[in-house]
Structures are given as C-alpha cells and as structure tokens.
Structure 1
C-alpha cells in the first residue's frame, strides 16, 4: 500500500464503476445464460392455467354475472358496457346520460357488488 497516491477522484464513483462492471460481467457470463430456474425447468408457465384454476375462475365469473344481473337496470347496463370495454364517453352517449353520471353509476355498482354477500362468499377470504 505504500505505492498508493491519492489522485483527487471521487471514491464513490470508483465503487459504482466497479459494481456496474461486476453486474455487466455477471449477465454476460455463460453461467448466467445456462442457469434455469425451477419453474422453467419443471415446465410451469405463469400464463398456463390448470383445470382447477379455470374451474374456479368460471365459478367466480358466473357468480359475478349473477350479481351484476341483480343490480338495478341503470347500474346493470353501465356495468356490462364498461366490462365489455366500452369507453365512458360512449356509454354516456349510448344511454343519453352525462359521463359523470356513468362514473357515479359505476361507483355505486362497485359498492353494491363489494357488499354482495354471495360474491364475498365466492371470492373467499381476502388478504389484508
């Protein structure tokens, strides 16, 4: 260490440069490219759904459809149009109401659906 001479450079910048180079070396290494996580190795894909997942989702969706159909007419129409991806402005134009009224109907429908005892039973316990 007797040969070290301070050059006036920032020590933090030097450490950042070293860390950046280590990360770049890691991702460029053959080991990183050859490593396979357990999920990939087992062939599981997050986008793949099991038959159990599909059944549960179908049950939840049918319960949701039933709950939406129990809403008052104006809320039901707005909710179905919104669920189909219709923009709020188009819903308002189609139903001949203002866009703010559409938003109010959606809010009220969400509140009623959240309080629906059948839906809360289907959804199961929520994580808090």
Structure 2
C-alpha cells in the first residue's frame, strides 16, 4: 500500500500557504495579503480573551503579525490553515500579558456582543446588555478549552472544522467539547436565561 502523498501547499486553504511561500521568499505584498485575510480573526480572538479591551486586543493582534513577519521563514505546512499559527502566536502573547501583569478581568460586553437588530429602545438594550454580561460571566467559569471552543464557535462564528484546526483537534473532539461546554453553561446560567 503506497504512503499517502502530502497535500499540495495551498489546497483547501484558499491559497494561504502559497502566500506564505511567497512571503518567505521576501514578497511583502504576499505578507500584506495574509495580514488582510487574518487580522480580523486574530483581533476578535484577542478581544474576547482580553475581555473586551479593544486597545489591548489591537496591540496583541498587531504584535502577532510583527512576530509572524519575523518568524515567517520558520513556519512549515502541517496540514492546517496558517490562521492556526497566527492564533497560536496571539494566544502566547495573551498568556504572557496576563501572566506578567496584574491583569484584572473586566468586560465591556457591548463591545463584544453586538445587540440584535430587533432591539427596540433603550430598555431592551439594557436588558440585552445584562443578558450578554451574565452569559460572558458564565463562559469565564468554564475550563480554558471549553472557553476557547465557545469563543471560537459562537462569539467568532467559526465552523467546527475551523475551530478544530485552530485548536489542533479533530472535528469529533471539538463537537464533544462544545457539547460539554454548552451543557455546563446551561447549568451555570440563571434559570431565567436558559
């Protein structure tokens, strides 16, 4: 039985790995295209992890790409989208930030969860904000893997496959993790919000 052939670079990843190869050869326009494709995803990831602190999230997202540019020559294709590498850099930056500072968890929930377009009036906005705040408070009580899964799947809107790639797990493991996280959230949420 012949050994499986490696997947050609770029297949199934919208040509991102082709851009990586071009950037590794010194093409800054290709790196700029990677930046344009992945900055928002990295920013949203950092925004949730930094509890809605937009300035910190932007700093982390920008530093992620500075570090990625410095290390672009060392990244190799491993069967995953390059976005997973960017998110890993961001995750490490966030970990270092939280570990090295007297960082307090605070949420500006109106910056994280947009209000429904069906929101009617300021009273409903206040109720929506309180609900979002309670939901995010409960998400923070989940274990780190469950938090990451819920954040990627529901706050960032990624598919199971995209979440699996970013978390370096298979899709079945992500589905099981998501199921456990949702069940745990149901237990944590006050009865009126379930």
- Tell me: CA distance 1:48–1:108, structure 2 relative to 1, closer, same or farther (3 Å): closer
Name the TM-score, length of structure 2 as normaliser.
0.37
Matching residue of 1:105 = 177
Match of residue 144 from structure 2: 73
In the alignment, structure 1 segments of 5+ residues that lack a partner are 1-45
Residue equivalent to 2:122? 51
Shift of the alpha carbon at 1:98? 0.6
Distance change (3 Å), C-alpha of 1:55 and 1:63: same
1:69 deviation in Å?
Answer: 1.1
5+ long unaligned stretches in structure 2:
1-116
Which structure exhibits the higher relative contact order, with contacts defined as CA atoms closer than 8 Å and separated by 6 or more residues? 1
Alpha-carbon RMSD across the aligned residues, in angstroms, is 1.8
| Count of aligned pairs | 77
Selected match of 2:160 from 67, 88, 92: 88
TM-score (norm 1): 0.55
Are residues 56 and 102 of structure 1, via their aligned partners in 2, closer, same or farther at CA, if it must alter by over 3 Å?
same
User: Which structure's CA Rg is the greater one?
Assistant: 1
